[in-house]
Each structure stands twice: as C-alpha cells, then as structure tokens.
Amino acid sequence: MLRIDGLRVNYGGIEAVKNISFQVPERQIVTLIGANGAGKSTTLRTIAGLVRPAEGRIHLQAEDITGMSPDKIVSKGITLVPEGRRVFPDLTVLENLRIGAYLRKDSLEDDLNWVYSLFPRLKERSWQSAGTLSGGEQQMLAVGRALMSRPKLMMMDEPSLGLAPLVVKDIFAIIKRINQQGVTILLIEQNANMALHIADTAYVLETGRLTLSGTGKELLSNEAVKKAYLG
C-alpha cells in the first residue's frame, strides 16, 4: 500500500534518515523500532508531508505523494497521530474530533459513533476540554481524532510514551481492533516488546538505516534484537 524507496531526509542540519526503503502492505500492522534518534519520527513526519525529503520517493498505492503538502496527504488517506499526543487542550473533546475531520465535507455522524464505540470514555467526556483528560484518555482522543479523517493508513508516533503500563496495554489492544476493522497501521515505538507482539511486519532502524526486518515474531526471537531492545 505504501512504498518508500531510497528515502533520505536532512533534519536540523544532519542526515537523519539515510537511504531507507520499506513497504507497508495493506491491512497490516507494520512497526519501525529503534533507539532515540534513529530517525523513526523523521520518517513518519516525512511521509505525512511535514518534512520534505532530500531524496527518494514515497508511493501510496500507485500514486507518487513525495513532497505533497500535509493537507493533500491527509486527503489521500494518510493520517498521523503525533508524538506526545498533542490534543488541542482548550477545545472540547468533540471539537477535537471535529477538527480531525476538517478536510471532509460529508456527514460526521457515523464516524463519531464509530470513534465513540472504540472509546466509550470519549463519549462520556465529549463536552470536557481535552486538557482536563488523563494521559491515556488524551492518547485515545489523539487516535480518535486521527480516525475522524477516515484514513486508509494511520501512522502512530510513540503511542505508549508517558503512559502507565496498563494503559499502554489498552491502547495496543485498540490499535489491533482498529487494524482488524480495515485500517493499515504504521507504528513507531521505543517499547519494542509491545510493538513486536502486535506487528505483522517489523523493521529495525539504527542511526538512519534499516538494519533488520522480518515478522514481529521473528524479530522477537532474534538474538540481536533481544539484546538491544528487549533487555
């Protein structure tokens, strides 16, 4: 579904991503794992159009989307749940969700109900301002907000960041459910254990290069991965 070829990205004066190529097959959960500064976030931000690549091509299905503006890319069906949640704190939960569907002109009723069925907690809090939610609820809102654009591909940047282990478990269970309902997922994580457990395909990114790939299970049992990321 998504194909990255020879992507190079310069970010803040350094080459953060050095010639990586990978694919995200339709309806799969694909994860990129790696340490801090490996270039994971930069990769996602480049796909989302927030950063321009120095070289390489990004294809969504057959279409070349390299260098398109973020709003065009969202309307093509790719959405990003940014790192650290970044909900709009002074707006209500419902307003946050509405902004997620900003580029759509059709009725939102069905999608709101879908998001509310995935996250019943958000429905209870729909009139509360997002800044008053707990960390886990804010992450749910960030995911719900992304889903409101009715994406084909949802990219998630460190959804487990700063959340309690139990909440992280919930979030991953929901990611799995969303995937089962037909949304392809590209996930980047430092919490390699959780990510590899739900991933169909996984890649290891080290200082801007892809060093390993395989199914989630394969990488879980890989000695090098175990040593470096699973402790």
Partner 1 sequence: MQKKKNHGKTFAGLVAIVCFLAVVLVLDQIIQPTDSMAMLLKVLQKASVYALAAVSLNLLTGFTGLFSLGHAGFMLIGAYTYAIFTIEPLQRDVVYQYYDAAIRVSFPQMLAQHLGGLGTVLGVILAILLAGAVAALLGWLIGLPVLRLKSDYLAIATLGFAEVIRAVFQWGKLGPVTNGSNPLKSFVRINSFKLTLGGTTLSLSTFVPVLLAVVCIAVIVLLINSSYGRAFKAIRENEIAAEAMGINLARHKMLAFCTSSFFAGVAGAGMAMVLGIAQANNFKSAMTYEILLMVVLGGIGSVTGSVIGATLFIAASEWWLRGLDSGTFLGINAPDIFRNGFRLVVFSIVIMIVVLFFRRGIMGDKELPDLFRRRKKTPSKAKGGQSHG
The count of residues interacting with partner 1 (CB under 8 A) is 27
Member of 19, 28, 75, 207 binding partner 1 (CB under 8 A): 75
DSSP 12: T
By C-alpha distance, which of 154, 149, 146, 121 is closest to 135? 121
Give yes or no for residue 89 binding partner 1 (CB under 8 A).
Answer: yes
d(Cα 83, Cα 70) in Å, to the nearest integer?
A: 16
60: its two tokens = 């969504």
CA distances from 231 to 92, 176, 206, 224 (A): 40, 24, 17, 10
3-state secondary structure of 182: coil
Tell which one of 37, 52, 64, 102 touches partner 1 (CB under 8 A): 102
Q: Is 159 in the site for partner 1 (CB under 8 A)?
A: no
CB of 140 to partner 1, least distance (A): 14
Query: Scanning residues 24 to 53, which ones bind partner 1 (CB under 8 A)?
Result: 48, 50
In the complex, the smallest distance separating the C-beta of residue 167 from partner 1, rounded to whole angstroms, is 14
- The answer to whether the beta carbons of residues 28 and 185 sit under 8 Å apart is yes
Residue closest to 68 by CA, chosen among 50, 56, 83, 81: 50
Of the pair 29, 87, the CB lying nearest partner 1 is at 87
* 100 contacts partner 1 (rule: CB under 8 A): yes
Residue ranges in 160-219 that form contacts with partner 1 under rule CB under 8 A:
none
Q: What are phi and psi of 72, to 5 degrees?
A: -65, -45
Shortest distance in whole angstroms from residue 75 CB to partner 1: 6
How near is the Cβ of 202 to partner 1 at its closest, in Å?
Answer: 24
Is the separation of the CB atoms in 2 and 159 below 8 Å?
A: no
Q: In the complex, which residues of this chain contact partner 1 (CB under 8 A)?
A: 48, 50, 69-71, 73-75, 79-80, 82, 86-91, 95, 98-100, 102-103, 124, 145-146, 149
